Chain A
Amino acid sequence: MELKGSQTLAATPDQVWSALFDRAILEQAIPGCESLEQTSDTSFSAVVKLKIGPVSARFKGDVELSDIAPGLSCTLSGKGSGGIAGFAKGAARVTLTPQGAQTVLDYTADVAVGGKLAALGNRLIKATAQKLTGEFFANFDTALTCEETAPAA
């Protein structure tokens, strides 16, 4: 299932770029994130709790950044296991384009779920994936903006 979107962020591409690798910002941005630990420069392990209508599941998984063209584009991929509920995985190709003082973030994501979630949640999945992707980038924008306005430590 493919999802596409675009988000205009009130920050420069460099700021956006570093935020993409910022554990604290990602933790705020990932919907339902209960914990996020950095395991290398480009990878994180996450626990995410999702509740969508009749489904409520805790996913444990990894988030990784790859195909990195600094300041321009990268691929954000994640894979999580929700135990017997099934699994979810996805990869989003993210590209940054400066637009004045702002940055346009375009993404093309390919999302898949498996197991019980796929078997039973057909009517739910696409809407949910869209909603969560939207939330992620909206949260990302908020976290980024807060970071910007926060006084330097």
Chain B
Amino acid sequence: MMASTDHIGQSHRRENALRHLAGRGRFVTDLALPRMVHAAFVRSPMAKGKIVELDVTAAAAAPGVVRVFTAETLNPICAPWTGTLDHFAGMKSAPQNMLAEGQVLWAGHPVAMILAHSRAEAEDACELVLLDIEDEDAVVDGDAALVEGTPLVSDGIASNLCYRTVLETPGLEEAFSNAAHVVEGRFTFGRHTAVTLEPRAVVADFDPSTGQLTVHHGTQTPYQFQDVYAHQFGLPDNKVRVIAPDVGGSFGMKLHVYNEEMAVVAASITLGRPVRFVADRLESFVSDVHARDHRVSARMAMDAQGTILAMDVDDMTQIGAFSTYPRTSVAEGNQVIRLMGAPYTMPDYRGRLSVVFQNKVQTSQYRAVGHPIACAVTEALVDRAAEQLDLDPIEIRARNLVADDAYPHVSATGYQFEKLSHHAALAKLRQMMGYETLREEQAALRKQGIYRGIGIASFVEITNPGAAFYGVGGARVSAQDGAIVRLTPSGEVHCAISVTEQGQGTETIIAQVVADQLGVTPDQVKVTTGDTDTTPSGGATWACRGAGIGGETALRAGRRLQAQILAIAGAVLQAEPATLALAEGAVIDRATGQERITLAEIGRIATYRPDTLPEGCDNSLTAVQHFAPTGYPFDFTNGIQASHVEVDIETGVTRLLKHWVVEDCGRIINPLLVDAQIRGGVVQGLGPAFFEECMYDDMGQMTNASLADYLVPMAGEMPDIEIAHIETPTLDTILGAKGVGEAGTAAAGAAAMNAVNDALRPMGARISQTPMTPLRILTALGHV
């Protein structure tokens, strides 16, 4: 079959961007429905305690208030949910309810829900709720949580340990005892959060007359929520419609089940009218999942030549009061210990993981789950090894990266790599950044008291996950996707697909892929996403699966429709379908390229004059295709990043001068959009490396829960980012695309930490904690 690649690989612009530029985005926050009421929540001001009194009488009588719910009146209509999965053997978490029952477990835990005619009135009424909580000692530190005698994080658990596991190769001890060099470090990775510019938003609309529940939900995974709502509220899933319109950022944060969204659905079912909740920024900080929060001890063994023999890693990660549902809060730590050392030919390994509860907001999956931690620890140790062996950071990587011709390769942690291109990436990076020149400049500037640093980080990224991620553990999280492609009666194309759009350009790349199968241009392909009633069921967009799995689904659906069109054309033209092809909006003769009949004509005949088709000719112009990845459990990508910084050694302030990325995401569908993903991802990695941190006091109060105090990366501080590519398509699919959404985030912080430490090296100072704030840098320098 002739595979057209006219549009795949081209930098098509996003049609849906035009709506946003015109102020015509349609977000859940913009939605107003008839009879809609607004929700606000009364939240626990304490990190842990027993609810002694909850009196909502005055609130219920306040102007504009429609209804007040407490745990007693709301929780019974929704089955509790528990964030555990079977493949994380032995993991535990308490069941969760919408509103706190008896005990509050973090500062921000919702206790009562007020519904009013406006959000302002709902907030007015919140002030009238009498809530008395007898506070209990909160567990705020993960290490302390594991000490015998420490109180339990909640009454619902038997231990503060959620999960513990060890991966170990048999040769680990021997590798360390034979090592010529061992380097080690203790690392702390701060807690941070997604801060999507559009906060979490949901409008639930239950129609009691038909039993139909429609939920407009700012999420990346509508089908998952369709299933969650159906199951938790006991509704048939075909009566649950979840619509994710424009979503103002998600990054993993909006695919978890939250108390507030569930409560809004429950309230709509109870009231039989639309209920809206839009988190305000303060609520976002104390209810959106947070990310990371790891303490890692690690050591690396090398032989005399600097060949990495083994790593030994212990990760303690702190997840808040519950493991999230339905994907758990263990996946992050699990990926941390499995991604350690991944780019390198490292035969032996031990990774220990402890996942620990505390009285804080939950942590869970967020862009580049686990990657930044594994990458930062590995790359920091590689740099320390280089320093100890007096090797250049490029040289030590060249000695240890898995050779480009040594695939397939299985890592010491058991990950299977189909084909990666670390050495090609390293060479390209070195050339692109002008490595030698930068080193010369660095040496010259040091003499003037200017301290610049260069940091490098190789990485692999997990993309295109199959069911191995969640499905095998019992999670009702789809690993497959579906597409419906149809030719309209006028010969245009429509594709409805289960992967979703949050601005990364999903709809554009799907249009490109489909266009190439049907011989049309992408602007002739209308793509619909984000509505469970109008698109087939699928996993949607997470873990970098939109392009690889969604794209392949679209490709196969397109080819199926192509075959149907050619069959009809063959019947009409009295030609063998195999002698025909599609190009430029028409059926052409495959050999000569001559136009035989237009798609518009095919559409017209099949739709309005099917009577003219020969008997037995199927007039269907709609093709349906589902696709689940087979072959490798994941398609790994790889790449390398470099960061160039200048540290003001008197103030501890770091200036980011430049950032480079060489990335191999397989077949590139749209270079413009791939680079956009990388740049955005890099900045999302640099943010927590330098600025972002959810700070807590020793009572478990988050103390910087506003955009004035929580420092997100802004334009003034972020560097320009230069990008180059290598294309190693996966052979698992026809399309050959892998994911790219998390690559930037995976290694940016690691490169930056190595760069800062490179700058600090002449002073003998070193930093092993993120964010790398002026305080921490000055402390490392001995100024504080």
Contacts and interface: CB of A to CB of B under 8 A. Distances in A.
A–B contact (CB under 8 angstroms) = yes
Interface of B: 42-43, 45-47, 107, 126-127, 132, 282, 285-286, 695, 697, 699, 701-706, 709
Given A114-B699, A114-B701, A120 B46 contact: no
A66 B702 CA distance: 30
Contact of A118 (B42, B132, B697): B697
A18 B476 CA distance: 68
Given A83-B127, A84-B127, A123-B709, A116 B45 contact: yes
A119 B42 contact: no
A119 B286 contact: yes
A84 B40 CA distance: 12
Nearest to B128: A83
B195 to A, nearest CB: 15
Query: Which of A81, A114, A115 is packed against the most chain B CB atoms within 10 Å?
Result: A114
A118 B703 contact: yes
A122 B126 contact: no
B711 to A, nearest CB: 13
Nearest to B42: A84
Given A119-B705, A119-B706, 5 more contacts: A81-B132, A84-B45, A116-B45, A118-B703, A119-B704
Interface string A59-94: 000000000000000000000010110110000000
Contact of A122 (B46, B127, B282, B703): B703
A120 B695 CA distance: 11
Contacts of B126: 84
Interface string A102-114: 0000000000111
A88 B189 CA distance: 30
Nearest to A86: B45
A68 B620 CA distance: 89
B25 to A, nearest CB: 29
A103 B702 CA distance: 40
B46 A119 contact: no
B107 A118 contact: yes
Nearest to B45: A115
Contacts of B45: 84, 86-87, 114-116, 118
A118 B702 contact: yes
5 contacts: A114-B47, A118-B697, A119-B282, A119-B701, A122-B703
Nearest to A113: B701
A122 B709 contact: yes
Contact of B703 (A83, A87, A119): A119
Contact of B709 (A113, A115, A120): A120
A81 B134 CA distance: 12
Nearest to B40: A84
Nearest to B704: A122
Interface in A89-141: 112-116, 118-120, 122-123
List 5 A-B pairs, minimum CB-CB distance, nearest first: A115-B45, A119-B705, A118-B701, A122-B703, A114-B45
A19 B282 CA distance: 42
B579 to A, nearest CB: 70
Interface residues of A, number: 16
B107 A120 contact: no
Contact of A112 (B127, B697, B705, B709): B697
A119 B43 CA distance: 13
Nearest to B138: A114
B285 A119 contact: yes
Nearest to B44: A115
Contacts of A119: 107, 282, 285-286, 701-706
A123 to B, nearest CB: 7
A120 B282 contact: yes
Contact of B107 (A1, A114, A122, A123): A114
Contacts of B697: 1, 112, 118
Given A84-B126, A115-B45, A120 B706 contact: yes
A83 B125 CA distance: 11
Query: Which of A86, A118, A120 is packed against the most chain B CB atoms within 10 Å?
Result: A118
Nearest to B696: A118
B282 A112 contact: no
B112 to A, nearest CB: 11
A87 B127 contact: no
Contacts of A118: 45, 107, 697, 699, 701-703
Nearest to B698: A112
Contacts of B46: 87, 114-115
Contacts of A83: 127
A9 B42 CA distance: 44
A45 to B, nearest CB: 14
A86 B132 CA distance: 11
A84 B706 CA distance: 16
Nearest to B132: A81
A14 B73 CA distance: 55
A1 B695 CA distance: 15
A113 B695 CA distance: 14
Contacts of A123: 709
Contacts of A113: 701
Contacts of A122: 695, 703-704, 709
B453 to A, nearest CB: 31
Given A84-B127, A120-B705, A123-B709, A112 B699 contact: yes
Contacts of B132: 81
Contacts of B695: 122
Query: Which of A119, A122, A123 is packed against the most chain B CB atoms within 10 Å?
Result: A119
A2 B286 CA distance: 25
Nearest to B108: A119
A119 B697 CA distance: 10
Contacts of B703: 118-119, 122
Nearest to A87: B45
B127 to A, nearest CB: 5
Query: Which of A84, A87, A123 is packed against the most chain B CB atoms within 10 Å?
Result: A84
A81 B132 CA distance: 9
A121 to B, nearest CB: 8
B132 to A, nearest CB: 8
Contacts of B43: 115
A81 B135 CA distance: 12
B301 to A, nearest CB: 43
A87 B47 CA distance: 12
Nearest to B706: A120
A134 to B, nearest CB: 22
Contacts of A87: 45-46
Contacts of B47: 114
A115 B42 CA distance: 11
A109 B174 CA distance: 54
Query: Which of B45, B282, B702 is packed against the most chain A CB atoms within 10 Å?
Result: B45
A135 B46 CA distance: 27
A53 to B, nearest CB: 13
A87 B131 CA distance: 11
A26 B727 CA distance: 76
Nearest to A79: B135
A67 to B, nearest CB: 19
A86 B695 CA distance: 17
Query: Which of B42, B127, B132, B701 is packed against the most chain A CB atoms within 10 Å?
Result: B701
Nearest to B131: A81
A119 B45 CA distance: 10
Contacts of A84: 42, 45, 126-127
Contacts of A120: 282, 705-706, 709
Contacts of B107: 114-115, 118-119
A83 B706 CA distance: 19
Nearest to A1: B697
Nearest to A115: B45
Contacts of A114: 45-47, 107, 699, 701
Nearest to A89: B135
B653 to A, nearest CB: 19
B105 to A, nearest CB: 14
A3 to B, nearest CB: 15
A87 B134 CA distance: 12
A37 B45 CA distance: 26
A5 B107 CA distance: 30
